[in-house]
């Protein structure tokens, strides 16, 4: 079965999320035509009966077989790695301890009469054999099944079955018009049970930040309580008219199975991806070249803005840098579209053609500023926590810091040249509450550069009696982010 365990980033739930997305948008000459007038409500039966009868012939079962290898793994963390490196090397050179076949079961649906089908990329990823079974039990395998393309950022893939007869495509709805509380119907093959239909409502919109190891990284999920299980991956989520509004993608659960929280990729995202996979075999996206984060309550107060997306870092030689964008800018509008969240910005930028000049409105130092940025093409590789030792400074905001040239910094394997290293964060301190961690490097405080320990001491002394919140720019690993810290 295709499913994956993840932990929700906001709250530790011991949660398992199962991805079940798919993608669509029809090639010219093969497009599914929108319904002129729905007849779903004809007769006296439940509307769900007619929806099932209408859509089930378009939903397919996908079986993807691949060869997997598992090696004996003996890995040691610092400081034991040097001591056991020969031992570790010996075991890594052993032959595979297991080699066998693994079958993923998922769902998909027909997009055109000539056999284009949408499913999850994670359903078919790495597959050597793919079998597609229609609702009428017609089976396609071997040369009759073609992988048209896939997109890891949205976890979408397109197949094509070569059939002698015309297939029945789904009808597409408008996910932008969906409201919280609207009916939602999921159809797929949960746990291998073919053609299963479940009913719920749209519980929320715009969900993002789910930690899904295999994607999608571009997230703007619809949340539903229509039951979804492993095997639903790639199946359609429908509105009350029987139109596809989303692709069942993931669940949040403590047990590995359904607990009332499921996620689907909106059809508005999937359409562009599907069309490009059909026409080009890949997805070309617009790119700014910035790292970004959502605005929290403290950041909103510190930056004196109400909404938008915060730029934490501008990549060198990127379109954003050439367009004079800066770290600390808050993007509030992109090409006339109001920006309130990361998914909105990601969607607006990715759908912009490379080479197009975009009008971007940012808030900088409390004032609105208009920029013109020539959007680039997204590169393939980007695709949008009581010490008295010498050299340490402690106390302010609950932070214990050290110089970057100290022995402690070498232990943390810090690779930046300027700043101070956070060695420890006092429990329940303002810094701890703001999410600062040991190993972070403080680069700026209130937009004043922290070049070294002396600069940190001077800035912290100047701010010691101020109320805050204070805006800190930190680096964690290779990524930078802003943090707002409010003193006690």
> What residue ranges do the domains of the chain occupy?
1-59+107-124+143-283, 286-377, 392-485
Annotated active-site residue in 23, 107, 122, 220: 122
**233 included as an active-site residue:** yes
pLDDT score, position 466 = 87
232 is in an annotated binding site: yes
Cα distance between residue 34 and residue 54, in whole Å: 14
Strand partners, 314: 290
pLDDT, residue 150, reads: 93
Contacts of 236 (CB under 8 A, 6+ apart): 22, 55, 58, 59, 109, 170, 186, 187, 188, 244, 246, 247, 248
- Give tens-digit pLDDT for 192-244: 899 999 999 999 998 887 777 666 778 889 999 999 988 998 999 999 999 99
Average pLDDT, the chain: 81
Superfamily name and number for 392-485: PDZ domain (2.30.42.10)
Where in 351-391 does DSSP place strands (E)?
A: 357-364, 367-374, 376-377
Distance of alpha carbon 253 from alpha carbon 286, whole angstroms: 34
The confidence band for 137, taking pLDDT boundaries of 50, 70 and 90, is: very high
Total-model pTM: 0.64
Q: What is the pLDDT of residue 380?
A: 66
Once rounded to an integer, what is the mean pLDDT over residues 339-344? 88
Instruction: Note the pLDDT of residue 291.
Output: 87
Catalytic annotation, pick one of 58, 107, 151, 155:
155
Domain 286-377 CATH assignment equals 2.30.42.10: yes
Compute the Cα dihedral for 225, 226, 230, 233 and give only its sign: negative
Is residue 129 over pLDDT 60? Answer: yes
CATH placement of domain 1-59+107-124+143-283 = 2.40.10.120
Q: Is 122 annotated as a binding residue?
A: yes
Residue 233, annotated ligand binder? yes
Catalytic residue from among 233, 268, 406, 460: 233
Give the pLDDT band (50/70/90) at residue 406. low
Which tens digit of pLDDT belongs to each residue from 356-396? 999 999 999 889 999 999 999 988 654 442 333 333 444 78
In the prediction, which pLDDT does 98 show? 52
d(CA 314, CA 306): 22
Indicate if 392-485 has the same CATH topology as 1-59+107-124+143-283.
no
Tell me whether residue 155 is one of the annotated catalytic residues: yes
Task: Answer whether residue 254 shows pLDDT above 90.
Answer: no
Is residue 479 over pLDDT 80? yes
Mean pLDDT for 319-325 is 95
- pLDDT of residue 4 exceeding 50, the answer is no
468 band by pLDDT with thresholds 50, 70 and 90: confident
Return the pLDDT at 303: 84
The C-alpha atoms of residue 157 and residue 148 are separated, in whole angstroms, by 8
């Amino acid at each position: 079965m295709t499913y994956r365990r993840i932990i929700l980033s906001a709250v530790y739930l011991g949660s398992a999320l199962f991805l079940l997305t798919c993608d669509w948008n029809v090639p010219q000459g093969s497009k599914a035509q929108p319904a002129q007038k729905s007849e779903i409500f004809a007769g006296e039966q439940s509307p769900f009966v007619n929806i099932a009868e209408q859509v089930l012939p378009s939903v397919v079962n996908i079986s993807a077989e691949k060869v997997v290898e598992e090696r004996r793994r003996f890995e040691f963390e610092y400081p034991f790695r040097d001591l056991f490196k020969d031992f570790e090397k010996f075991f890594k050179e052993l032959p595979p301890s297991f080699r066998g076949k693994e079958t993923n079961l998922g769902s998909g649906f027909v997009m055109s009469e000539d056999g284009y089908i949408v499913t999850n990329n994670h359903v078919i990823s790495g597959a050597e054999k793919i079998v597609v079974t229609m609702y009428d039990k017609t089976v396609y395998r071997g040369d009759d099944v073609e992988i048209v393309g896939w997109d890891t950022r949205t976890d979408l893939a397109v197949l094509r079955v070569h059939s002698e007869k015309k297939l029945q495509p789904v009808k597409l709805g408008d996910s932008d018009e969906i409201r919280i509380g609207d009916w939602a119907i999921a159809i797929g093959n949960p746990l291998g049970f073919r053609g299963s239909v479940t009913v719920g409502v749209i519980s929320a919109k715009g969900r993002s930040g789910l930690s899904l190891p295999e994607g999608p990284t571009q997230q703007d999920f619809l949340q539903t309580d229509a039951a979804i299980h492993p095997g639903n991956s790639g199946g359609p989520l429908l509105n009350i008219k029987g139109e596809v509004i989303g692709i069942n993608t993931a669940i949040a659960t403590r047990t590995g199975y359904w607990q009332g929280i499921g996620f689907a990729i909106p059809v508005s995202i999937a359409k562009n991806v599907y069309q490009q996979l059909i026409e080009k075999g890949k997805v070309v996206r617009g790119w700014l070249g910035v790292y970004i984060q959502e605005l929290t309550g403290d950041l909103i107060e510190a930056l004196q803005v109400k909404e938008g997306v915060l730029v934490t870092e501008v990549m060198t030689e990127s379109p954003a840098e050439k367009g004079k964008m800066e770290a600390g800018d808050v993007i509030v509008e992109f090409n006339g579209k109001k920006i309130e969240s990361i998914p909105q910005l990601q969607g607006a930028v990715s759908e912009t053609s490379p080479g197009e000049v975009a009008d971007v409105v940012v808030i900088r130092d409390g004032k609105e500023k208009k920029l013109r940025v020539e959007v680039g093409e997204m590169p393939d590789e980007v695709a949008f926590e009581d010490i008295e030792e010498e050299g340490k400074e402690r106390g302010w905001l609950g932070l214990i810091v050290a110089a970057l040239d100290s022995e402690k910094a070498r232990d943390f394997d810090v690779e930046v040249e300027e700043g101070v290293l956070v060695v420890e964060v006092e429990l329940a301190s303002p810094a701890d509450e703001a999410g600062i961690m040991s190993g972070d490097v403080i680069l700026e405080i209130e937009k004043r550069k922290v070049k070294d320990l002396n600069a940190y001491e001077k800035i912290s002394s100047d701010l010691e009696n101020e109320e805050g919140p204070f805006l800190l720019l930190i680096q964690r690993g290779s990524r930078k982010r802003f943090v707002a810290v409010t003193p006690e």
